[in-house]
Amino acid sequence: MDHQVLRESVTDAIRYWEPRRLAYNAFLAAVVLAYFWIGYPASKAALSVDAALTIFVLAVMANVAYCSAYPVDVFAQMSGYRRLWQEHRWVLFIIGLSFAGVLTRFFAIAMFQLGSR
């Protein structure tokens, strides 16, 4: 394995994915806030220290899941399809963002008990 190629691939992956992490987190926060607002004022009763800690743990887990793009990206960049991958890896971002958004929606509905209305 060529260490220079690995280093370039990892550096490129960091350059690509880290700025998008901000959009990822903002999108997930918007989903939570939207479902809080939809359930307001009943959702206000769900606010507590335990709820804040739960949201914190879920946010950390979402960011750990976000990191799963790195091995895929580095592997694809080290293949003969590097240029093609770099042009189309945004698809992985959209799929991951959509999946995370759906999971976030389910957790937000459960936290704010929107199904009981």
* Position 6 in a domain: no
pLDDT tens-digit map of 98-116 = 999 999 999 999 998 765 5
* Position 12 in a domain: no
Taking a C-beta distance cutoff of 8 angstroms, is the pair 66, 21 a contact? yes
pLDDT tens-digit map of 48-61 = 999 999 999 999 99
* Position 22 in a domain: yes
Domain residue limits at 95: 17-116
Residue 110 structure tokens: 């459960």
What is the separation of C-alpha 53 from the centre of its chain, rounded to a whole number of angstroms? 18
Residue 3 has what pLDDT? 87
Q: Which amino acid is at 66?
A: Y
Q: What average pLDDT does range 58-80 have in this prediction?
A: 96
CB atoms within 10 A of CB 24: 20
* Position 58 in a domain: yes
* Position 67 in a domain: yes
Q: Which amino acid is at 17?
A: W
Q: How many separate domains does the chain show?
A: 1
